[in-house]
Amino acid sequence: MQILSAADMRACDEATVRLTGISWQELMENAGSAVARFAALEFPHAEPILVLCGKGNNGGDGLVAARVLESMGKRVEVILLSLPEHLEGGPRAAYDKLPAPLRRSLSIVVTAEDLETHKIASRMARAGLILDGVFGTGFHPPLRGVPAALQQMLSSIDTPVLAIDLPSGWDADSREQQNEQAFPANAVITFTAPKVAHIFGQLTRGSVAVASIGSPESVVQSSLQLHWAGGAKRIVEIPRPLDSNKGRFGHVLVAGGSVGKAGAPAMAALGAMRAGAGLVTTAVPRSLLAIAGGLAPEMMTLALEETPEGAIALANAEPSRLEAMLRGMTVLAVGSGIGRSHDAAEFARRIVAQTTLPLVLDADGLNAFDEQPELLNGTGRTLVITPHPGEMARLVGTGIPEVQQDRVATARAFAQSHECITVLKGWRTVIAHPDGSVAVNTSGNPALAKGGSGDVLTGIIAGMLAQFPQQAREAVETAVWLHGAAADLFVRERDERTMLATELLNHLSGAIRGPILHDGFTWLQESLP
């Protein structure tokens, strides 16, 4: 699913009307009907429903939704922020279609005095649900006048708010995480495709869904080269053949570990196993074998020569030993818990240089390339790196604030120049591909802010690559999505502070089975406690 700018969305709508014969009014009818269905789905018992309608297309969607909700038997009130005679096009047609009783009871609010006259504040507080149809994709900040006053009122009450397209006050093209000037929202329903703000902004802790309203996929094009990571999940929704065997799903070798960090490679290995790899071997310094291998009896182990300090010794990178270690393997995961000793760093550099197997590089495996990032090159093979902002900053020779200022650009530039898939972790993890396209992930929550989460992600990525070696980009995007979605499932049952990294794997099956397309909507995000 493409991620659109406001200009992309306008072009999409125009192309839909021009090429399909669907009228602007039909698009509005489809959008408003979707709003009504979504409101009934997310807030089934909410009444009365108070619909705030601006004079533009967003307000037109709200007027259609009001009519449809009333036809469903809901008690509906409409507040129009415009004189009816000032409405044009689709919004005017939607107003004219309102049933006579609804049109007669409609309140018109165009001045601050009208807010008091119509007792808007008390009506908002008494409502079971408020639909925010004031401003949509075409809005440019700031809020002024009556909309600004409504924002203040909404922020002071507990009535749930469903935002139509966007919470009023958000710029559709904004990549800001927060916007305290915008309307609050308990859920958001948008149309055709997510816009930039839906992906990067913390619009709500509730559901965010996309409804199809008639635009063919061929006209939904992102000039930003951005798409949503969750769409790749379809690769795990196809059942495995009944005659499957472990050999069909790859053999992952996880190499890492050092004294004090024996659990890291074990967690990565467990992630690979849970993700569906057929076989997983964990290679760690000899003295750590019992600790690492004790996490799961299904895990195979390989003892590596170690330094006196308990790190991987450089002797393991000798060509004959490396050849023996990699024999029969289909995917490598290197770096979890490997430490920053000279030998371990050189081992990581040599294994990257001497194999063409698909490889996932994480943690101190990445730090081994701080001073020689040019050695990270995935030309002719699948190379995936999974840096957090600090590791990314060291690789590109800048500070964390510079990386965070434009995460998409940073990851995209590195992926293109190093021919590798770059998974830049953090709020809205971005997955940048060598061709310049970037996927953005919307699953996950603060439960993942705990040691070991990155190791588990490394393993899930490796496990997905083992099963889908010819679909590397989809495999990586799916792994990132599932990792976050499993954590989302955890917090529905328990407090986010309590999750251990390995516990998210208990919810991986639910994340795989959980549909992202249901009830006619694509769910970018589902409500968190």
Same domain, 263 and 384: yes
Q: 403 pLDDT exceeds 90? A: yes
- Residue 177, both tokens: 């995480």
Question: Which CATH number goes with the domain that contains 180?
Answer: 3.40.50.10260
Give a yes or no: residue 228 inside a domain.
Answer: no
Domain boundary among 221, 245, 267: 221
Question: What is the share, in percent, of the chain residues with pLDDT greater than 90?
Answer: 98
Q: Are 70 and 99 in contact (CB under 8 A)?
A: yes
The pLDDT value recorded for residue 529 is 79
Q: What is the mean pLDDT of the chain?
A: 97
User: Are 80 and 212 members of one domain?
Assistant: yes
For the segment 104-108, the average pLDDT, to the nearest whole number, is 95
258-267 per-position pLDDT tens digit:
999 999 999 9
Please give the order of strands across the beta sheet that includes 161-164.
Answer: 107-108, 76-80, 49-53, 129-133, 161-164, 187-191, 207-211, 521-525, 517-518
Residues 122 and 243 in one domain: no
The tens digit of pLDDT for each residue in 266-294 reads 999 999 999 999 999 999 999 999 999 88
Q: What is the rounded distance in angstroms from the CA atom of residue 53 to the CA atom of residue 32?
A: 12
How far is 282 from 295, CA to CA, in rounded Å?
Answer: 11
User: Is residue 226 included in any domain, yes or no?
Assistant: no
Distance CA 495, CA 497 (A): 5
- Strands (E) across 366-520 are located at 383-385, 421-424, 430-432, 438-440, 517-518
Region 21-47: mean pLDDT is 97
Give the Cα separation of 344 and 223 in Å (integer): 43
pLDDT in tens, 37-61: 999 999 999 999 999 999 999 999 9
Whether 262 and 284 have beta carbons less than 8 Å apart is answered as yes
Is residue 358 in a domain? yes
Say if residue 285 is in the same domain as residue 338: yes
3-state secondary structure of 387: coil
Last residue of a domain, one of 221, 251, 274: 221
The CATH number of whichever domain residue 438 belongs to comes to: 3.40.1190.20
| Residue for token pair 């709003």 | 35
Same domain, 273 and 150: no
For residue 38, give its domain range: 6-221
> Can you tell me the mean pLDDT for 292-313?
94
Give the DSSP letter string of 121-186.
HHHHHH-SEEEEES--TT--SPP-HHHHHHHHHHHTS---EEEESS-TT--TT---S--TTSPP-S
Considering only CA atoms, which of 316, 274, 298, 299 is closest in space to residue 458?
274
Same domain, 273 and 314: yes
Same domain, 277 and 376: yes
> Which pLDDT does position 44 carry in this prediction?
97
Q: Are residues 119 and 181 in the same domain?
A: yes
For 82-120, give one letter per residue: b (16+ CB within 10 A) or e: beeeebeebbbbbbeebeeebbeebbebeeeeebeeeeb
Query: SS3 string of 197-265?
Result: HHHHCCCCCCEEEEECCCCCHHHCCCCCCEEEHHHHHHHHCCCCCCCCCHHHHCEEEEECCCCCCCHHH
Query: 495-516: per-residue pLDDT in tens?
Result: 999 999 999 999 999 999 999 9
Picking from 127-131, 296-300, 487-491, which range would have the lowest pLDDT averaged per residue?
296-300
Give 424-477 pLDDT, tens digit per residue: 999 999 999 999 999 999 999 999 999 999 999 999 999 999 999 999 999 999
The domain boundary residue, chosen from 164, 193, 221: 221
**Residue 528 pLDDT:** 81
Whether residue 341 is found in the same domain as residue 482: yes
- Report residue 8's pLDDT band, with 50, 70 and 90 as the boundaries: very high
Burial annotation 234-246 (CB, 10 A radius, 16+ → b, else e): eebeeeeeeeeee
What's the gap between Cα 268 and its chain centre?
A: 22
pLDDT band at 154 (very low <50, low <70, confident <90, very high): very high
Indicate whether 229 belongs to any domain. Answer: no
pLDDT at 295: 87
Express each pLDDT in 157-210 by its tens digit: 999 999 999 999 999 999 999 999 999 999 999 999 999 999 999 999 999 999
What's at 135, amino acid-wise?
Answer: F
Domains in the chain, number: 2
Amino acid at position 154, single letter: L
Query: Where does the pLDDT of residue 87 fall: very low under 50, low under 70, confident under 90, or very high at 90 and above?
Result: very high
Report the share of the chain in percent with pLDDT over 70.
100
Look up residue 143 and give its two tokens.
Answer: 């809020």
Same domain, 284 and 208: no
